[in-house]
Amino acid sequence: MAESLSRPPKAAHHFNRVAILFAGGPAPGANAVISTAATSFMRNDTEVVGMKHGYSSLADFSSDQPLVEGKDYINVTPEFLKRTRSGQGIMLGTARTNPGKHISDPKHFDDEERVKPLKNTYEGLLSLGVEALISIGGDDTLKTANKFKLYQDRLPADAPRIPVVHLPKTIDNDYMGIDFTFGYFTAVDFLGGEIRNLLYDADAGRSYFICESMGRSAGWLAYGAAICGEASLVISVEDIHGKYREDETVTDADGNTSTKHAMNVDEVVGRIVKTMRVREEKEGKEYGVIVLAEGLAEFLPSKQLEGIPRDDHGHITISQIQLGKMFAKLVGDEYERQTGRSRKVVGLQLGYEARCSKPHAFDVMLGSQLGVGGYRALAERGLNGVMVSVSGQLDLSYVPFEELVDPKTLVTVVRYVEPGCDFHSLARFLETFVNE
């Protein structure tokens, strides 16, 4: 056993050079993850390459156009990492380029055209002498890491392998396999502060704000921000059931029909207006802030999503829908219809301003442990195809990709806020009481 003030002994690994990349949306604490992962390797005699802007250069790599230092990657040095652990932004940049976007079934790995971006990524990393990869990103980036591993699993036995370890990132906190993701609490605090500011504004002008919060798949961020910001009501995708859900039949481009779980917009609008009226008639409050998770846009009736583009991962471009403004108009009209009085209702979109805010201590510590965990997974344990997880008092564990990704669809499993759980109930206890 090492002395309590001694650094853990160097791992007997074989890596001479590793790569780190960050993909997807920014999150506070990202630089803590990158810098601690890089430092751990460099202090154990391993060179570190930082890929710039995620998979952007790798997915399009070709042998006749070598990757360029400074443009496509950075040779990480101690000087480059100087005082970066608590820094804002993403020191390597980020992008949503997805080299696995054409792979949605295991059979697709047999299609040379579909796997070409993954092949380019593999050959691009080999061209830099990379022997292991640390991937940092959300569930879409986890899917890409898994596909990158599966691509290599099908290579000839004598082909070199680049083991990949994934570090989970999302301010949405909707990851299976980890309790909280880095950046979540910083984002919640930042958005909670904005909501409190809006409450003062609403109080002064006897008005309402309907805030669209980030959180594409689940309501963790919306609920956390509403709790900290003292919002009057929060609604997320987990709440769209019962009378708030209205299924519809949709037909795809090939003529196939399926059932879509859609939102009953009229009922949701009515629920918001009910909160407004209870606050006014029972509490004497003619103001408030309502928080809507942006993922509710996916539940809009199909006719309202026509023409909305999708990204490389198949997600609709939520920013083009302006959910907060849409509901502000509907709520204002319904309030006036019910009461005969007008009430100023303003729609806002919150979230982008939180993604690169200064990380709080917990997110710096959590991110640092994940970064070190990436080193320990590869160098100390020799793992491949695992996600680093943290629980309890920053205790590390390693979750295999196959426990997080459906082997048939190659899609990750979203962790929702379970309706009726203690976290969900906390918001209901604290918001304006409406007896339905």
Segments making up each domain of the chain, as ranges: 17-180+359-403, 185-356+417-430
- Quote the CA–CA distance of 199 and 210 in Å, as a whole number: 11
Contact predicate 186/359, CB 8 Å: yes
Give the helix, strand, coil percentages of the chain, each rounded to 5: 40, 20, 40
In Å, what is the CA distance from 214 to each residue of 179, 211, 256?
19, 10, 32
Q: What's the pLDDT at 215? A: 81
Overall average pLDDT of the 274-298 stretch: 95
Question: Is the pLDDT confidence value at 2 over 60?
Answer: no
Residues 164-207 have pLDDT tens digits of: 999 999 998 998 999 999 999 999 999 999 999 999 999 999 99
pTM above 0.85, yes or no: yes
State what percent of residues in the chain have pLDDT above 70.
96
Q: What's the pLDDT at 401? A: 95
Q: What's the pLDDT at 13? A: 74
Please state which of the ranges 88-92, 296-300, 416-420 shows the lowest mean pLDDT.
Answer: 296-300
Residues 99-154 have pLDDT tens digits of: 999 999 999 999 999 999 999 999 999 999 999 999 999 988 999 999 999 999 99
- Quote the CA–CA distance of 329 and 350 in Å, as a whole number: 18
Q: What's the pLDDT at 112? A: 94
- CATH entry, 17-180+359-403, from 3.20.20.120, 3.40.50.410, 3.30.70.100, 3.40.50.450: 3.40.50.450
Please list, in sequence order, all residues whose beta carbon lies within 8 angstroms of the beta carbon of residue 125, skipping any fewer than 6 positions away. Answer: 19, 58, 133, 162
Average pLDDT, the chain: 92
Give the sheet arrangement for strand 73-75, strand by strand.
Answer: 73-75, 47-51, 17-22, 133-137, 164-168, 386-391, 395-400
Overall average pLDDT of the 34-49 stretch: 96
Overall average pLDDT of the 351-371 stretch: 93
Residues 391-406 have pLDDT tens digits of: 999 999 999 999 999 9
- Quote the CA–CA distance of 236 and 173 in Å, as a whole number: 14
Residues 233-258 have pLDDT tens digits of: 999 999 999 999 988 877 766 777 77
Question: Is the pLDDT confidence value at 1 over 70?
Answer: no
The domains spanning 17-180+359-403 and 185-356+417-430 adopt the same CATH topology: yes
Contact predicate 338/275, CB 8 Å: no
Question: Is the pLDDT confidence value at 313 over 60?
Answer: no
- Quote the CA–CA distance of 397 and 387 in Å, as a whole number: 8
Overall average pLDDT of the 260-279 stretch: 93
Q: What's the pLDDT at 72? A: 96
What SS3 state is found at 26?
A: coil
Q: What's the pLDDT at 311? A: 66
Question: Is the pLDDT confidence value at 267 over 80?
Answer: yes
Q: What's the pLDDT at 248? A: 81
Question: Is the pLDDT confidence value at 314 over 70?
Answer: no
Sign of CA pseudo-dihedral 131, 134, 140, 143: positive
Contact predicate 238/417, CB 8 Å: yes
Residues 322-353 have pLDDT tens digits of: 889 999 999 999 999 999 999 999 999 988 88
Q: What's the pLDDT at 312? A: 62
Pick 314 or 61 by higher pLDDT. Answer: 61
Q: What's the pLDDT at 322? A: 85
- Quote the CA–CA distance of 231 and 234 in Å, as a whole number: 7
Q: What's the pLDDT at 157? A: 95
Overall average pLDDT of the 22-45 stretch: 95
Question: Is the pLDDT confidence value at 42 over 60?
Answer: yes
- Quote the CA–CA distance of 49 and 58 in Å, as a whole number: 13
How crowded is residue 203: how many other Cβ atoms within 10 Å of its Cβ? 13
Please give the helix or strand (H or E) that residue 346 lies within, else none: strand 345-350
Q: The domain at 185-356+417-430 falls in which architecture?
A: 3-Layer(aba) Sandwich (3.40)
Residue matched to tokens 């000087």 = 79
